[in-house]
Structures are given as structure tokens and as C-alpha cells.
Amino acid sequence: MTDEKKSCLRGSGLTKIFGLGQKKTVAVDHVDFNFYAGEIISIVGESGSGKTTLAKMLLGLISTTEGEIYFEGKLRDISTQKKKREYWKGIQAIFQDPYSSYNIFNKIDTVLLDCIKMRGGGRLPHAKKIEMISEACSFVNLKFEELTNKYPFELSGGQMQRLMIARIFLLKPKVLLADEPTSMIDACSRATILDMLMALRKETGMTLIFITHDIGLAYFVSDSVYIMEHGKLIESGTADEVILHPKKAYTKRLINDVPKIHEEWDLSTVKVSSIWNEA
């Protein structure tokens, strides 16, 4: 490890097994990785490849079956609720479905005030807190005056997704894990969300981890790309290496199957023979 590249998140032999005996499913299978601080990383895989399970393990939302996670060089300890909260100051997430990301009983004010509290600003004067919240909202083109005293269900999907980013703005975590942040919105709003995430990263210098099935997005934003297949990280490298010169057949197929506009989209490679081979 060199001086300029500080390890931020490192996993060794990370494994998650669901179920027992015959019904055992290995969702994540002995995965090793090392994410450096300040990098933009993408983990790409199809549905069922285990990428969301990996994300949940990184966040400490589910336990690991085997293996260790090191956060900033130290073995992470989330054995108690208090330590977990401490860990979450450093790592935060944005999920695919903004509708299910909020506690429906909490007003927007509570959601945002909690973020300030989590950063240790619980004793600040109220006016100062409101000022901070307004700043965060205007960062994502929302007006706090319009949101105050509202419940999450009163917001549109786009507003909720932007509010998630406003939360991150207040929390300023060291690592942001974005699990399919753009898969439920159309291409045009995708650019808006990406712009905001990039602006936020510029401001805080945080490490960004994208979990996505959108190879175009992964190539566009990230410094390094990891390809995941059946719970294993099969290929990794810089974005140019992996996307333009893929080595594994799986990666090649994945890239080949995305419709393109300047290169030909080869439909002749589609093989359909048995119903079982695509399950």
C-alpha cells in the first residue's frame, strides 16, 4: 500500500450463505477486494449475482458467514448497536427504491434533523440546524419551506431520491454506497442524479461505490470496475481495462449485450435452445 492510496474498505474471504443443508445458497463466495479512499468504484453484475448481498454486508445490515471487512485499515467492529451507529457515521447508502427508504411515520424534518444529530450537532441552536437543512435541500434543488411538516409519502419519487442525496450532504460520510441509484428512473433524470452525486463527491471527497447492472453507467463514472458473477468477483481493473478489453467470457457477453449507438449491436449471438439455459 502506497502513501497516496489509502485503503478505505477491504474485504478478505467475504462469504454469505443463506439457508442450510440442501437448500444452501452461496450468495457471495469468498470475495476479496480493496477499495481505495476517494475512488469511484462500480460493482457490476446481473440480477442474482449477489451484488446487493455484498452491499448489505458492507453496510452491516446482514451478518457475514465468513471473512473480514476492514474499514480504514482496521477490522470493523459492529458487535453492539452503539458501535454500529459509529460505523454508519463513516458509511452510508442510497437505495434503488426511494419509496421504501424512509420511515413512513417520520416527517421530513425529523429525517433531516436526525442526520445533524448523528453528526454530533444535536446541541446546536435550532435556527442553525434549519439553516444547515436548507443548505442541503438547495444543494439538490429542493426547497425546505415546501417540505417542512410533510411526510415522505407526500413527495414524488424524484423528490425522495433527491432528499436521499440531501441526507448524504448533511451526513458527509467517508463512503457512500449507491445500490442501483438510477435503475428506477429514466435516462434524463439519471443525468441529474449523477450530476448531484458527482458534485457531492467533489465537495466531500468521499469514496463512492456504485452497485449496478448498467454497464454504461459503470464505465461512465467509475475509476475501477468489478464484475460479479454467481457470488464471485471474476474480473476487476480500471474502467478502461475492464470495459474496453474484457478478459472473461462473461464480461464480454455482458458488454456485448448492451445496445450501442456507434458500434454495431450484434443480434446474431443470441442463442435460444432450451428453457433451462437462461434461468
Binding mask 224-243 for other proteins (x = CB under 8 A): ---------------xx--x
Q: Quick one: which of 1, 61, 62, 258 contacts other proteins (CB under 8 A)?
A: 258
Q: Quick one: which of 172, 213, 230, 232 contacts other proteins (CB under 8 A)?
A: 213
Is 158 a binding residue for other proteins by CB under 8 A? The answer is: yes
Q: Quick one: which of 1, 61, 62, 244 contacts other proteins (CB under 8 A)?
A: 244
Q: In a 3-state reduction of DSSP, which class is residue 70?
A: strand
Q: Quick one: which of 220, 247, 248, 252 contacts other proteins (CB under 8 A)?
A: 220
Q: For residues 32 and 39, what is the distance between their CA atoms, to the nearest angstrom?
A: 17
| Grid cell at residue 255 | 458488454
Q: Quick one: which of 1, 19, 46, 103 contacts other proteins (CB under 8 A)?
A: 46
| CA Rg value for the chain | 20
Is 75 a binding residue for other proteins by CB under 8 A? The answer is: no
Is 127 a binding residue for other proteins by CB under 8 A? The answer is: no
Q: For residues 215 and 254, what is the distance between their CA atoms, to the nearest angstrom?
A: 8
Q: How far is the CB of 48 from other proteins (least distance, A)?
A: 9
Q: For residues 63 and 279, what is the distance between their CA atoms, to the nearest angstrom?
A: 28
Q: In a 3-state reduction of DSSP, which class is residue 33?
A: strand
Q: Quick one: which of 185, 230, 236, 237 contacts other proteins (CB under 8 A)?
A: 185
For residue 17, count other CB atoms closer than 10 A to its CB: 15
Q: Which residues contact 204 (CB under 8 A, 6 or more apart)?
A: 172
Helix axes 157-171, 187-204, angle to 10 degrees: 10
Is 248 a binding residue for other proteins by CB under 8 A? The answer is: no
Q: For residues 59 and 179, what is the distance between their CA atoms, to the nearest angstrom?
A: 11
State the number of binding residues for other proteins (CB under 8 A).
44
Is 265 a binding residue for other proteins by CB under 8 A? The answer is: yes
Binding residues (CB under 8 A) for other proteins: these are: 46-47, 158, 185-192, 194-195, 213-220, 239-240, 243-244, 253-255, 257-263, 265, 267, 270, 272-275, 278-279
